[in-house]
């Protein structure tokens, strides 16, 4: 009886070393790559001149957002849209990416104008005054 239990235990240990341990190592390596990639991402503000942008309907904005998200999904994890601000004749979009050129590719694929791209060097708020 004890021999059967020993064989079962050895089998379970062998399976763990063959399958579980390599899978855990692979997962840890992917997480490490993801963290390095996130650290390499910079934040940008894109200015888009769109006449009468403030008159875009909720459906218009939803369609633009859906197009943007679809293109981002196709482009992969090295570009991320955070949010946008709609003003009278412009839309300001905030993105994070590893490469400024990806912003231009995104705009081209989505049919969006780009009038300027500026890398953020700092972010301030009322909380900054209290630090």
pLDDT tens digits, one per residue of 22-70: 666 666 666 656 565 556 899 999 999 999 999 999 999 999 999 999 9
Query: Do 109 and 62 share a structural domain?
Result: yes
List strand residue ranges (DSSP E) for the chain, in order: 42-49, 79-86, 90-97, 116-119
Under a CB-based contact definition with an 8 Å cutoff, are residues 107 and 91 in contact? no
Structural domain of 68: 39-121
The rounded distance, in Å, linking the Cα atoms of 4 and 123 is 65
Q: Measuring CA to CA, which residue among 64, 67, 69, 98 is closest to residue 81?
A: 69
Q: 51 Cβ partners below 8 Å, 6+ apart?
A: 89
1, pLDDT greater than 60: no
Considering the entire predicted model, what is its pTM?
A: 0.70
Q: Measuring CA to CA, which residue among 44, 120, 122, 119 is closest to residue 84?
A: 44
pLDDT of residue 40: 82
Looking at the structure of the chain, the number of domains it has is 2
| Angle, CA of 23, 29 and 33, to the nearest 5° | 145
17, pLDDT greater than 70: no
Query: Do 55 and 83 share a structural domain?
Result: yes
> What does the mean pLDDT of the chain come to?
87
pLDDT of residue 15: 62
Query: Do 112 and 77 share a structural domain?
Result: yes
Query: Do 61 and 105 share a structural domain?
Result: yes
pLDDT of residue 34: 58
CATH of the domain at 95: 3.30.70.3090
- Percent of the chain that is helix, strand, coil (3-state, to 5): 55, 20, 20
| Residue 66: inside a domain | yes
The rounded distance, in Å, linking the Cα atoms of 54 and 87 is 6
pLDDT tens digits, one per residue of 84-112: 999 999 999 999 999 999 999 999 999 99
């Amino acid at each position: 009886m004890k021999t059967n239990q020993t064989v079962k235990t050895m089998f379970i240990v062998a399976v763990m070393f063959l399958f579980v341990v390599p899978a855990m190592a692979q997962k840890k390596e992917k997480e490490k790559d993801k963290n390095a990639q996130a650290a390499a991402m910079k934040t940008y503000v894109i200015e888009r001149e769109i006449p009468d942008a403030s008159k875009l309907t909720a459906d218009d904005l939803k369609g633009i957002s859906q197009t943007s998200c679809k293109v981002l999904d196709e482009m992969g994890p090295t570009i991320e849209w955070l949010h946008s601000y709609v003003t009278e004749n412009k839309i300001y979009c905030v993105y994070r990416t590893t490469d400024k050129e990806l912003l231009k590719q995104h705009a081209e694929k989505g049919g969006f104008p780009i009038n300027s791209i500026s890398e953020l060097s700092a972010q301030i708020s009322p909380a900054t005054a209290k630090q």
